[in-house]
Chains A and B, each alone.
Chain A
Amino acid sequence: MTFQINGKDFSQTPRAAQCLRTFLRDLGHFGVKKGCDAGDCGACTVLIDGEPVHSCLVPAFRANGRAVTTIEGLAPAGGTHPMQQAFLDAQAFQCGFCTAGMILTCASLNQAQRQDLGASLKGNLCRCTGYRAIEDALNGKTNIEEAAAGAAFGRSLPAPAGPQVVRGAARYTFDTAMEGLLHIKLLRSPHPHARICFIDKTAALSVPGVHSVLSFEDAPDRLFSTARHERAWMDPDDTRVFDEVVRFIGQKVAAVVAESEAAAEEGCRRLKVEYEILPAVVDPAQAIAPGAPLIHDGKTLEQRVANAQRNIVAESHGEFGDVASALARSAVTYEGTFTTQRVQHAALETHGGLAWVDAGGVLHVRSSTQTPFLTRRALTEIFDLPPDQVRVFCERVGGGFGGKQEMFVEDVLALAALKTGRPVKLEFTREEQFIATSTRHPMRITVKAGADACGKLTALQLDVLSNTGAYGNHASPVLLHACGESIGVYNCPNKKVDAVVAYTNTVPAGAFRGYGLPQTLLAVEAAIDELARGLGISPFEIRRRNIVKPGDPMLSPPGSGHNDIIYGSYGLDQCLDWVERAMQAEGPTIDLSADWLIGDGIALTMIDTVPPDGHIADARISLREDGGFELTVGTAEFGNGTSTVHRQIAATALATTVDQIRLLQSDTAHGGHDTGAYGSTGTSVAGRATQAAAENLAEDLKMFASTATKTDPDTCILENDSVVCGKQRLPFGRIGQAARARGQTLSANGSSQGTPRSVAFNVQGFRIAVNKGTGEIRILKSVHAADAGRVANPMQCRGQVEGGVAQSLGATLYEEMVIDDGGRVSNPRFRDYHLPSFADLPRTEVFFADTADTLGPMGAKSMSESPYNPVAAALGNALADATGIRFTAVPFKPDRLWPPLQEKFG
């Protein structure tokens, strides 16, 4: 068969039912991405004879004799298509994994389709942006700015990888060709709880191309947690690479390593596994009841499992004051029980990686991870390898959202590479993402709250039951975080927390954007709202009367023992003001029938700017001979935009422009340490290290120049890519050359320990319309105010806010993993798990508080996670305002809202 691909003819015969997507990738067209492999996400869009199609659904043979255009061929070699330029000008991407498909689709739209983007773009999912920036690109809007030397911080500079992203040239995990690669496929448990008695590998090993089969017999007998934290004690050691006991449907049982994916799949089907079925429990309340099947029987406090005899991973109890008597004396009280569902991160790049052992015996793992350094640490421990014998790295990662603060593939990759001696690849399918990685923790939250007649809070109580699924990765810290800032943000003399996180025989929950707060805020912010309603005061006013202000202790029982949180800055008051003003502003009039009920709602959130108990980042920066700099950081780029910000920080500290800063990142081979890009630390912690390194180098440059010019170093300043000492100006290039001539490289290190920590704030407001006859919701206004300190890059930070609101609206309105009574995920695909598409999201007005943090880099604070947090709560409050009904379970889908609406309104 002959294919014309990007203008070149290829003669090649695809496999019988190979899809065009893999055929193109096999030929090296890595711009063709796999988001779902099922036609739902559009990341694999290519043009056939000029028409856009999802290449994962097209049999490759059907492209025979036709012209295929991938993103790499959209513009003539070296050129930029107008749509690619538009995406650059608007910076219409974050992680960039959807971008190639998005650009090809947008470039093919006719005028009519451009007028109806909701319909035209429903086949292209972007998990990061919330689509506003994509709309900007289609409208030809420019969002980027330029900055003079030394003035980069605070400017909307574009992402350095932008040109590669829009051309499909940015390399994600699998965008590299390797000779002699073996493919791994995992056999997964069909049972929610079973003991593996025997695995007959004979038939699998006889499949042509199957190299080996790995199971618990081959795996190190060592317990660990897939969760990655700086301190291992945060998570229970309850997981093995391959275990003899499987605890959820989808848990890996064995790996088949083969010359092709097809052979590996066939090998998995030929494995004969004898299971002893064990009793299972999928409901968390039943799991902690006496007599429930024990999921981690035998594990103890030594493995950091609080009470294995009751399936309790962790619990937290405490009381300040006396909640019960305070409630009894309160002018107004509220009690309600709220439930939050299981949601998936749905980063468009699935988990996976490549691993190989080099000639020197070093194990290399290239994976889709937020935590390369902590993953290396885990691999050295599990496989008893010295740190210098293991390298973990990533280039660009296609979205994370917390899901990649875990080790789901690297352990298997390492085992397979070490056992076979060959390079190996493991790439999860979209279904595997749903059934076998991690989700947000579903929670049941009972809140009790009281206030006096003046609207001052008298009591706040949380009773939380969290479901961590079969493994306890992140179970305890998520629970503690959920019960921390959610009530710590309010001054209240009596507070009580009872919180438990339970094991169940279901897919594990793990780290997820918001880290527990979105769940508890749904309840806490509802309670605050109900108290305001009971007292007849506004939702803004009750919050103003009760929120913490600088100097107030931020208290949540039983008390964490952390004494390193300070008010490095404070902008919550401004955020409330911004949202209140914006909500009052006149909007366009809307013509809605009498069936539509209108309501407003707000919610707020506080978040510590750094996760607790240590978050460490090292950075190193060197002056090159050409006067540019090489900056090495450990933190990863997955759409968070930190690559942009690190260059801005360094360029600002060194009085240069960002194009002079070459960034190396997220590779343990570069040395140093980085806890990882989670908890919005890419700027707030790693950025602080970069600032320190750059400032140290600035001092070194001054010293060098003062020596060279024989001037007082105190009179030297950095200015316009030079050191100016009195009347002499030494360009950086000359300093670099002079240093080299002396056999010297000018370089400096910086590090940040992630402590002390500050607090950041967000307030979300919605005006919605609810159709009382159908349960449909329309968002008429969405307003978000963020206290991000000094904003390093307003365009990017706005994008993080919009993306957070968008992802959270997905969890508020649409997304829900359904687990049946037997513990099986019944909707493990995008067409049944609805990610917000272009048509599903409002445009959110974003405002920033005017603050400057004393702790964060150049005054900046964290701002990737927290915009997600108040969204469901604000929407729930708007629903209550519109309907007079307090809905207590997300997602707020029409078919759930309708029955109470019908009951009330007929």
Chain B
Amino acid sequence: MDLNTIKEVAHPRQREQLPVWTAGDAWLAGGTWLFSEPQVHLTRLIDLADFKWPALTISDTGLTIAATCTVAQLDALACPPEWLAAPLINQCCRAFLASFKIWKTATVGGNLCMSLPAGPMISLTAALDGVCTVWTAGGGEQRASVVDFVTGNQRNVLARGDLLRQIAIPLAALQRRTAFRQISLTPVGRSAALLIGSIGGEGALTLTVTASTVRPVQLSFSKIPGAGELREALRHRIADGLYHDDVHGKPAWRKHMTLRLAEEIRAELQGLV
């Protein structure tokens, strides 16, 4: 929709050109959320497109995803065959409530910064041990794991004027075997629980719980646990208050789905070992 209170759009090309952050500013990446709701408190957008950050960079150490990388670009990535976790990318893209048309515009960074529990790029990058690089408003740089970056429903570690620059995915995470489960109140609707399990080289299990909880929760096991142990660990780690409550799923159901999907993942990965 038209954002009629916006009087100016800044188009910096490099960090030095970033305007001083003032009240009424907002970063513009894809704009798919920004333009989807009235933003009457805003007067200026700072467009990140002209930075022309390389969307995806594959290196010996893994994958770097620019904050402005679109979902479609990520989904189209030709992954090296040794990235056993590659199927997760499409699985998580498909978990978007929005269609492939939105993927062409929406960005990975934008999804993280929105910090909705159901943000599937949060699920993906959290499960892959992603590390965020943040350009702080003061001119510095900070790092935070994705699991720590998102702190609650539509809450994250960014302070005013901080900018998410990129997410780095370590190679080791990309080389793990994974299992994916997602459920929604409707067949292709917003995720009410999205769980990803992965098995490391030594048989360690990492389970990442998203969508059902207000922020990502990651559990690590040195080996695949038994059903009871997994269940107990989830009950212990995820207090009832951590389950998200909105029109897309009641907390008690989200909790049950979390336990159920976790067990399915456990069983699937155990079958692979």
Q: Is the CB of A839 within 8 A of B100?
A: no
The proximity string for B residues 1-41 relative to A, scoring 1 for CB distances below 8 Å and 0 otherwise, is 11111111100000000000000000010111001110010
User: Is A57 among interface residues, defined by CB-CB distance under 8 A?
Assistant: yes
Q: Is the CB of A120 within 8 A of B35?
A: no
Q: State how many angstroms separate the Cβ of A760 from the closest Cβ of chain B.
A: 31
Q: Say whether A697 faces chain B, with CB atoms less than 8 Å apart.
A: no
- Give the chain A neighbours of B94 by CB distance below 8 A: 119
Judge whether B183 and A37 touch: CB under 8 Å. Answer: no
Any B CB within 8 A of the CB of A22: yes
Please report the number of residue pairs spanning A and B whose Cβ atoms sit closer than 8 angstroms. 144
Q: Is A61 an interface residue (CB 8 A)?
A: yes
Task: Give the residue name and chain of the A residue nearest to B40 (CB).
Answer: A269
Given A57, A818, A839, which contacts B35 in the complex, CB threshold below 8 Å?
A57
Tell whether, in the assembled complex, residue A59 and residue B8 are in contact, meaning their CB atoms are under 8 Å apart: no
- On whether the beta carbons of B36 and A840 are closer than 8 Å, the reply is no
Q: Which of B40, B45, B192, B253 has the most CB of A within 10 A?
A: B253
Chain B residue contacts of A56, Cβ below 8 A: 1, 35-36
A295 CB–B CB distance under 8 Å: no
Q: What 0/1 readout, one digit per residue, does chain A (47-74) give for beta carbons within 8 Å of chain B?
A: 0000111101111011000000000000
B185 at the interface (CB under 8 A from A): yes
The proximity string for B residues 208-236 relative to A, scoring 1 for CB distances below 8 Å and 0 otherwise, is 00000000000000000000000000000
> Would you call A39 and B32 a contact (CB within 8 A)?
yes
Q: Is A19 an interface residue (CB 8 A)?
A: yes
The verdict on B97 contacting chain A, using a C-beta distance below 8 Å, is yes
Number of B positions contacting A (CB below 8 A) = 47
For A109, give the chain B residue with the smallest CB separation.
Answer: B100
Known: A58-B31, A832-B247. A840 touches B1 (CB 8 A): no
> Contacts A120-B100, A814-B185, A899-B252 given: A39-B2 contact, CB under 8 Å?
no
Task: Compute how far the CA of A776 lies from the CA of B252 in the bound complex, rounded to whole angstroms.
Answer: 15
Q: Is the CB of B185 within 8 A of A19?
A: no
> In the complex, which residues of chain A have a beta carbon less than 8 angstroms from the beta carbon of B40?
265, 269
Give the interface segment out of B101-109, B121-129, B135-143, B152-160. Answer: B101-109
B247 touches A840 (CB 8 A): no
User: What 1/0 mask marks residues of chain B from 44 to 77 whose CB sits below 8 Å from any chain A CB?
Assistant: 0100010000000000000000000000000000
When A57-B35, A119-B94, A262-B4 are in contact, do A16 and B100 touch as well, CB less than 8 Å?
A: no
Q: Are B2 and A898 in contact (CB under 8 A)?
A: no
The answer to whether the Cβ of A124 comes within 8 Å of any Cβ in the partner chain is: yes
> For residue A430, which residue of chain B has the nearest CB?
B1
B189 adjacent to chain A (CB < 8 Å): yes
Whether a CB of chain B sits under 8 angstroms from the CB of A663 is no
B residues 231-265 in Cβ contact with A at 8 Å: 246-250, 252-254, 256-257, 260
Determine the residue in chain A with the shortest Cβ distance to B37. Answer: A38
Query: Are A831's CB and B97's CB within 8 A?
Result: yes
* Complex Cα–Cα for A40 and B250 (A): 23
Contact partners of B5 in chain A: CB under 8 A: 262, 266
Cβ–Cβ contact B247 & A17, under 8 A: no
Cβ A57 vs Cβ B4 within 8 A = no
Smallest CB gap from A264: residue in B = B4
Most chain A C-beta atoms within 10 Å of own C-beta, residue among B3, B94, B97, B247: B247
CB of B46 to closest CB in A, whole Å = 12
**A58 (CB) vs chain B CBs: closest residue:** B105
Q: Is the CB of A54 within 8 A of B45?
A: no
Given A54-B101, A54-B102, A814-B186, A16 contacting B9 (CB threshold 8 A): yes
Report whether B28 and A895 are in contact in the complex, using a CB–CB cutoff of 8 Å: no
The answer for the CA separation of A21 and B36 in the assembled complex, in Å, is 12
B93 CB to nearest A CB, Å: 10
Nearest chain-B residue to A268 (Cβ)? B40
CA of A54 to CA of B32, assembled, Å: 9
Q: Count A interface residues, CB 8 Å.
A: 63
Q: Is A775 close to B, CB under 8 A? A: yes
A774 within 8 A of B: yes
Cβ B32 vs Cβ A57 within 8 A: yes
* CB-based contact A840/B187 at 8 Å: yes
**Which secondary structure dominates where chain B touches chain A?**
loop
Distance to closest chain B CB from A63 (angstroms): 12
Question: What distance in Å separates the Cβ of A420 from its nearest Cβ neighbour in chain B?
Answer: 21
Instruction: Say if the beta carbon of B190 comes within 8 Å of chain A.
Output: yes
B183 to A, closest residue via Cβ: A774
Residue A781 interfacial (CB < 8 Å): no
Q: Is the CB of B6 within 8 A of A16?
A: yes
Q: What CA separation (Å) do A113 and B104 show in the bound complex?
A: 15
Nearest CB to that of B30 among chain A residues? A57
B31: A residues at CB distance < 8 A: 57-59, 62
Once the chains bind, are A57 and B102 in contact (CB under 8 Å)?
Answer: yes
Q: Contact check: which of A53, A62, A122, A124 meets B49 at CB < 8 Å?
A: A62
Least distance between A511 CB and chain B CB atoms (Å): 25
Tell me the smallest distance from the CB of A208 to a CB of chain B, in Å: 13
Least CB separation from A20: chain B residue: B35
Partner of A22, one of B2, B45, B97, B187: B2
B185 and A831 form a contact (CB under 8 A): no
Give the docked Cα–Cα distance between A899 and B190 (Å). Answer: 21
Contact B188–A122 (Cβ < 8 Å):
yes
The reply to whether B185 and A52 form a contact with Cβ atoms under 8 Å apart is no
Q: How far is the CB of B187 from chain A (nearest CB, A)?
A: 4
Contact status B247-A902, CB under 8 Å:
no
Kindly state the separation between the CA atoms of A57 and B104 in the bound complex, as whole angstroms: 11
Cα of A262 to Cα of B5 in the assembled complex, Å:
8
In the assembled complex, A562 has its CB within 8 A of some CB on chain B: no
Pair B102/A123 contact, Cβ less than 8 Å: yes
Interchain CA distance A15-B248 in the complex, whole Å: 36
Q: Are B247 and A39 in contact (CB under 8 A)?
A: no
Q: How far is the CA of A773 from the CA of B4 in the complex (A)?
A: 48
Tell me the smallest distance from the CB of B170 to a CB of chain A, in Å: 30
Nearest-neighbour CB distance to chain B for A7, whole angstroms, equals 22
Nearest to B250 among chain A residues (CB) is: A895
Tell me, yes or no, whether A45 is within 8 Å of chain B by CB: yes
A45 touches B185 (CB 8 A): no
Question: Which residues 329-383 in A have Cβ within 8 Å of B in the complex?
Answer: none
Report yes or no: B45 in contact with A124, Cβ–Cβ below 8 A.
no
Q: Is A261 an interface residue (CB 8 A)?
A: yes
Is the CB–CB distance between B3 and A52 below 8 Å?
no
Q: For the complex, what is the distance from the CA of A235 to the CA of B259, rounded to whole Å?
A: 52
Residue of A nearest to B94 (CB): A119
Asked if A895 and B104 make an inter-chain contact with CB atoms under 8 angstroms apart, the answer reads: no
Using known A-B contacts A58-B35, A773-B260, determine if residue A16 contacts B8 with beta carbons closer than 8 Å: yes
Q: Does A121 contact B (CB under 8 A)?
A: yes
Q: Does B98 contact A (CB under 8 A)?
A: yes
Give Cα distance in the complex from A123 to B246, angstroms: 22
Given the complex, which residues of A lie within 8 Å of B188, measured CB to CB? Answer: 118-119, 122, 837, 839-840
The chain A residue sitting closest to B261, CB to CB, is: A774
Which residues of the other chain, B, contact A42 by a CB distance below 8 angstroms? Answer: 99, 101
B2's partner among A17, A120, A827, A832 (CB-CB below 8 A) is A17
**CB <8 Å contact, A839 and B187:** yes
Minimum CB–CB distance for B115 against chain A, Å: 16
Which of chain A's residues have a CB closer than 8 A to the CB of B49?
62
Residue contact A827 to B247, C-beta cutoff 8 Å: yes
Expressed in whole angstroms, the Cα–Cα distance for A45 and B99 within the complex equals: 12
Binary flags per residue of A826-855, CB closer than 8 Å to B gives 1, else 0? 110101111001011000000000000000
A57 touches B105 (CB 8 A): yes
Contacting residues, chain B, for A774 (C-beta < 8 A): 183, 257, 260
Provide the residues of chain A in CB contact with B256, threshold 8 Å: 898, 902
Contact A51 B185 (CB under 8 A): no
Task: Give the 3 A-B CB pairs with smallest separation, nearest first.
Answer: A123-B99, A17-B6, A262-B4
A residues contacting B by CB (< 8 A) are: 15-19, 21-22, 37-40, 42, 45, 51-54, 56-59, 61-62, 105, 113, 118-124, 261-262, 265-266, 269, 429, 773-776, 813-814, 816, 818, 826-827, 829, 831-834, 837, 839-840, 893-896, 898-899, 902
A–B complex contacts, Cβ < 8 Å, 12 sampled: A38-B36, A53-B101, A54-B105, A57-B30, A59-B9, A59-B28, A59-B45, A123-B99, A261-B4, A269-B40, A816-B247, A895-B192
What 9 additional pairs, Cβ within 8 angstroms, besides A39-B36, A774-B257?
A: A38-B36, A39-B32, A54-B102, A61-B9, A121-B99, A122-B98, A266-B4, A774-B183, A895-B250
